[in-house]
Structure 1
Amino acid sequence: MNRVSCAAKLAFKKVTHVIFDLDGLLLDTESLYTKAAQSVVSKYGKTYTYEIKQKVLGFTGVDAAQEVVKLLNLPITWKEYYNLVRAEYPSIMTDAELMPGAERLVKHFHSKQIPMAVATSSGQDTYDLKVAKHAALFSMFSHVVTGGSDPEVKRGKPNPDIFLVCASRFKDCPKPELCLVFEDAPNGVQAALGAGMQVVMVPDEQTDESLCKMATLRLHSLEEVKPELFGLPPLK
């Protein structure tokens, strides 16, 4: 999956800034989201399958709630579902652990003074819960855009809004093509490409292969990242 041909290497463009997605990429939260969703839908005799989860990966909470209620034909409104799921978060989201390779990569870019930011579909309150035990690491990012609550992010992923807003908030406001995005979800990859950025995808192993083809580069883990492919300082 992570093989890179000589031709592909030549196709990569040099970048100066890095933007990370959060859930399933830096933090292992996807199982926690699944746990919260299943806790709610099971009350109505439904199952939150991976097929459904894959369709809403990267969505804001509101967009995901609307889609899940529709797909599962739940006998409640999307607002009711949204509130029920969010009520589960305080007791589980603080358990979020870092994904393999995340800490090493973030610390590397920080030590080399590569500008970094986070672009997550989460709202600010949920983001705060998830990163609480990793405060030191997340303080290394220049800024965070929480698409679920940021008024400047008009549309959620797969629309490019969140990445364009994120790029505009770097101090030197780089052009989109100078930003490299790290994503795990197809909706996020589509959003990054739509913003005119290259994107390294680290998909869940259950993600359909056909949904991974559009990424600039696919890897099994952040442990496999070779920053030098994009003109960034190599890992030691």
Structure 2
Amino acid sequence: MGPKIRACIFDMDGLLLDTEQVYTDVTNELLASYGKPNLPLEIKAQMMGRPGPYAAQVLIDWANLPVTASEYFAETSKRQTELWPAVRAMPGAVELIQHLKEHGVPIAVATSSHRRNFELKSAAHVDTLFAHFGEHIIVGDDPRIPTGRGKPYPDIWLLALNTLNTSLASTNPSHTPILPSECLVFEDSVLGVESGRAAGMNVVWVPDGRIKAVFEGKDEEILGVDGAHIAVDELGHLDLEGYGLPRMRIGELEN
């Protein structure tokens, strides 16, 4: 039995939306143009979850590219912009978000994506996914996040929780603030797991199988040994009841 959970906060890229393959494909196109090999999974894993400029620098340093982070963005953003509208929701994402919303569980998004990219990626999924979060969507360039304090720092998760508590208190003056220890963070990247743990929250790691293979044998290092943080292979495979949340069966919303 896990801790009693009162709110859930979600990453977006690779967790709610299948955007990571776009990043990989466009990066490989750029690398090929400079005569470089494809992006190794080990480097990809280091980039995932970081704010854009920091992720770009990891790539530039590894490949010894003759570009700055700004130039990298200029070369890749046009192609990414063409592809973002076609990204799909990850398996189980729509069902889980709708389920939590229907049962009154406070939910929020905390993504390293900047506002413009968030809007491009989410445009085809507003009704089924992102409308359920209302105003509780925190993006990587939110001015309330201090410069240099993106993931793996905990600031974005704590800001998301603060927006939930503020909203709940505005409609219920007797609202007891939700504590970080009463939050469940959903992440696909190791850096995201690190940042969720740093926020004092409970983390569900939902990694791509190929990325998880990079970290084979390191579950205890990533998740700790106290049982507060776990890994599942798909959003719909989490035992919600173990956290005091309403049980869900994938497909129940369509029945």
Q: TM-score, normalised by structure 1?
A: 0.91
Of 15-24 and 63-72, more deviation after overlay is shown by 63-72
Residue ranges of structure 2 left out of the alignment (5+ in a row): 169-176, 224-228, 250-255
Listed one character per residue, the Cα deviations across residues 35-88 of structure 1 (whole Å, up to 9, x for unaligned) are 121122221112222111100110111111122111111011121112212222
**Residue type of the partner of 2:155?**
D
How far has the Cα of 1:174 moved from its partner? 2.2
How far has the Cα of 1:209 moved from its partner? 2.4
How far has the Cα of 1:211 moved from its partner? 4.5
User: Could you tell me the percent identity over the aligned residues?
Assistant: 38
Structure 2 Cα separation of the partners of residues 42 and 82 of structure 1: 16
**Residue type of the partner of 1:30?**
E
Equivalent of 2:153 in 145, 152, 159: 159
**Residue type of the partner of 2:237?**
E
Equivalent of 1:78 in 44, 65, 69: 69
Aligned to 2:230: 217
The number of equivalent residue pairs is 225
**Residue type of the partner of 1:141?**
F
Query: CA RMSD of the aligned region, Å?
Result: 1.3
The 3-state SS of whatever aligns with 1:90 is helix
Q: TM-score, normalised by structure 2?
A: 0.85
Structure 2 Cα separation of the partners of residues 141 and 54 of structure 1: 28
Equivalent of 2:203 in 195, 199, 203: 199
Q: 5 Å matches for 1:80-229?
A: 80-136=71-127, 137-142=129-134, 143-147=136-140, 149-154=141-146, 155-170=149-164, 171-172=167-168, 174-206=178-210, 207=212, 208-213=215-220, 214-215=222-223, 216-229=229-242
The 3-state SS of whatever aligns with 1:18 is strand
Aligned to 1:62: 53
The 3-state SS of whatever aligns with 2:109 is strand
Q: Is structure 2 residue 32 aligned with structure 1 residue 25?
A: no
**Residue type of the partner of 1:111?**
E
Q: 5 Å matches for 1:32-51?
A: 32-46=22-36, 47-51=38-42
User: 4+ runs of 1 displaced by more than 4 Å?
Assistant: none
The 3-state SS of whatever aligns with 2:178 is coil
Residue ranges of structure 1 left out of the alignment (5+ in a row): 1-8
